[in-house]
A = this chain, B = another copy of it.
Amino acid sequence: MTSIRIAIIGAGMAGLKAASTLHKTGMNVTVFEKSRGLGGRLASRRTEFGHFNHGAQYVTARHPGFAAYIEQAKSFNAAQNWKPNLHHGQETSPQQLGNLALDHWYQGAPQMNKLIGPLVEPFEILKQHQITRIEQLDTRSFALHDDLDGKFGPFDGVIVTAPAPQTAQLLQPLSQRYDPIGDVVMAPCWAVMAAFETPLPTAFDAMLHPSPAISWAARSNPSDDLFHRRCPDPWVLHASPNWSRDHLEDDQERVIEKLLGALRDVSGVKLPDLHSVQAHRWRYARTETPLGSSHLNGMNGRVIAAGDWCLGARVEAAWRSGQSAAHAMIETLIG
């Protein structure tokens, strides 16, 4: 229908939701993703024996639009309900418990990063392309530059869905309108993926705030039979924001040792032998102070910031922000 050219930076939930919506309106969409995989923090790491979900642990669907998306994903076998036997740690506030009680939890199937499946349409996705600069060519078009001297474009519109600090770095040179992104706070998160040779002796599948160091510990539960056959008990630990900040530059080995020690203290038993263990540092994980609006636009509506950090620390916040950014771009470029 049109020859409108759109660049989207980031192939997480927000970026792919925006890409999918704009692609379906006939726009020519290119997604730039700095890593090798899709999904952002909807992340799964493949190991010799299966997958760990080491990023987002579960998804809620309070908004009707996102609830419909989850239903669609379930019909594609890309999502499933998850009802862990949950232990609430002492630091859980009554409000958090109330929210938990109201929610259904979902995961991607067979692993978390499959949750974006329904959004992957035949638009172009350039992986391992890290965009470092957005160049304004004229009032209506933009070029993107990557870290390898590549230049892409021109584009009629750009949607940036990187974590807030990286989005701010890309957009603040263009206009003061993007200054509020600088007020967004995203906490880091150290994640440990531990595969125990024998089951961890606990009655729970998941623990919320079990200790000051650990904000979340759960059996990584991909519905992946191969995985379950080969490895009896895979766990993912997420360090708390404060602990992660205090140990941001620590070695992986030291992080693993300390967090497994904290898990041992919580469970009160000797941990089973490890089959394997690894750690991943999310530099920007949980949004602590969101932007407070579903997206932020500037450059006459042609360069739009989006991401979970616009509305809050939830996967559905990312989806809604991506949708909102896409609709704002439609308003700018179509009417």
Contacts and interface: CB of A to CB of B under 8 A. Distances in A.
Nearest to A118: B335
A175 to B, nearest CB: 16
Contacts of A327: 327, 330-331
Contacts of A24: 1-2, 25-26, 334-335
A37 to B, nearest CB: 23
Contacts of A20: 335
Given A1-B1, A327-B327, A25 B65 contact: no
Interface in A87-119: none
Interface string A10-48: 000000010011001110000000000000000000000
A335 B320 CA distance: 10
A167 interface: no
A323 interface: yes
A20 B334 CA distance: 9
Contacts of A65: 331
A263 to B, nearest CB: 40
The 10 tightest CB contacts between A and B, nearest first, are A25-B25, A1-B26, A26-B26, A24-B334, A21-B335, A327-B327, A1-B1, A21-B334, A20-B335, A25-B26
Interface of A: 1-2, 17, 20-21, 24-26, 65, 69, 323, 326-327, 330-331, 334-335
9 contacts: A1-B24, A1-B26, A21-B330, A21-B335, A24-B335, A25-B330, A26-B26, A327-B330, A330-B330
